A = this chain, B = another copy of it.
Amino acid sequence: MRFSPLFWPIQLKGSIIYILDETKLPQKLVYIKAKDYKDACSAIKEMKTRAVGQVLLVMYVFLLSKRQGINLIKVAKAINATRPTLAFKFLTDMVLSWDKSNSPLDKCILGFLEMLKQGRIKQAQDTANLLKDADVILTHCNVSGLMPLIAEFAKQQGKKISFYVTETRPYLQGSRLSAWELMRARFPVTIITDNMVAYLLSLGKVTKVIVGADHLTQNGDIANKIGTYQIAVVAKYFKIPFYVLCPPPSKLKSGKEIEIEIRPGNELKIYQGLYLAPKQVKAYYPAFDITPAKLITKHIYLEV
């Protein structure tokens, strides 16, 4: 089985954490070095890593901080303050509770990471089992290496799968990450802009929508990259199944309790130094949206 670099974008080697710099893809496949929890928190805030990369980074930074003799409560607070929408507190509480118990933290974290890896591989396998030969998948944003893995499992089962990917403005994770990793793994992929979904679906060009989720609540609502909700509404209209690759559920009751991160409007107006809009115009940038459970055909759970 081949893995996308995005499947496991964080590595701990000695006392350095290597973070795949997703802002540099697809032009450059480079890793930045974090030497402590402050560097790691900056990388999260600047979106150098995202989605599962954030979970891995949290785990590795606790490992490193423990070795460095840093107060883990301080580390947890810094991590919780980085970005609001992913369930960071759920993760940091878990690590702090391990640390309080008698079990060695190293073993707990490494055990969790191994379980996460196996759980994600199984999630890809479960998804492939749901697919048919010649399925055309529409995906949004990037599910950290799961899409090529799903296609790989499907291929092993003799099913040919192809993809459409929304470019996912403003950060372009669809074009820059998903399209890149699918091309790299030699699966057919076509990019569209975010506003083409309804037209594409009206032409019958897509058989299933599969997206990820940054947050799953107790009632089955999800938070995912802005635009997910819109695709779910459109998929419902055209009666196309809408599947979600979910993380473990948080303790929140419903999506209404999830805090949506509002990022600087400039991130909409400027791309790599180039202005895409008048300099003075107001811009609104909610980084995520909530897709209610009723629009989700099937949750594909991560079992850890």
Interface status of A218 (Cβ within 8 A of chain B): no
**Of B190, B197, B236, B289, which contacts A283 at CB under 8 A?**
B190
Q: At the interface with chain B, which of A15-23, A56-64, A170-178?
A: A170-178
Q: Say whether B198 contacts A278, CB under 8 Å.
A: no
Report which A residues bind B (CB closer than 8 A): 26-27, 140, 164, 166-170, 172, 175-176, 179-180, 183, 188-200, 202, 226-227, 229-234, 236-237, 265, 268-269, 271-272, 274-278, 280-286, 289-290
Query: How close is A177's CB to chain B, nearest CB, in angstroms?
Result: 10
Query: Known: A195-B166, A233-B237. Contact between A172 and B271, CB under 8 A?
Result: no
| Bound: A3/B239 CA distance, A | 44
Query: How close is A83's CB to chain B, nearest CB, in angstroms?
Result: 17
Q: Say whether A277 contacts B229, CB under 8 Å.
A: no
Give the dominant DSSP class at A's interface: mixed
| Besides A164-B284, A172-B277, A271-B276, 16 new A-B residue pairs in contact (Cβ under 8 A), listed by A number | A168-B195, A169-B195, A176-B276, A180-B281, A189-B282, A190-B281, A191-B265, A191-B281, A192-B285, A193-B194, A194-B194, A198-B232, A199-B230, A202-B289, A230-B230, A233-B234
Q: Say whether A277 contacts B198, CB under 8 Å.
A: no
| Bound: A277/B183 CA distance, A | 11
| Bound: A285/B191 CA distance, A | 9
| Bound: A237/B230 CA distance, A | 10
What are 29 A-B residue pairs whose CB atoms fall within 8 Å in the complex? A26-B277, A26-B278, A27-B275, A140-B195, A167-B276, A169-B195, A175-B269, A180-B278, A183-B278, A183-B281, A190-B284, A191-B265, A191-B277, A191-B281, A191-B282, A191-B284, A192-B283, A192-B284, A193-B226, A193-B227, A193-B285, A195-B195, A195-B230, A196-B284, A198-B230, A199-B289, A200-B284, A202-B290, A237-B237
| Bound: A191/B265 CA distance, A | 9
| Bound: A167/B197 CA distance, A | 16
Q: Say whether A226 contacts B196, CB under 8 Å.
A: yes
Query: How close is A226's CB to chain B, nearest CB, in angstroms?
Result: 6
Q: Say whether B167 contacts A278, CB under 8 Å.
A: no
| Bound: A169/B286 CA distance, A | 18
List the B residue with the shortest CB-CB distance to A175.
B277
Q: Which residues of B contact A191 (CB under 8 A)?
A: 265, 268-269, 277, 281-284
Q: Which 9 A-B pairs have the closest CB atoms?
A: A195-B227, A175-B277, A198-B230, A194-B195, A199-B289, A169-B193, A194-B194, A198-B229, A190-B282
| Bound: A236/B237 CA distance, A | 10
Query: Known: A191-B284, A269-B191. Contact between A276 and B175, CB under 8 A?
Result: yes
**Of B230, B231, B277, B290, which contacts A179 at CB under 8 A?**
B277
List the B residue with the shortest CB-CB distance to A181.
B278
| Bound: A223/B294 CA distance, A | 31
**Of B175, B226, B277, which contacts A278 at CB under 8 A?**
B175
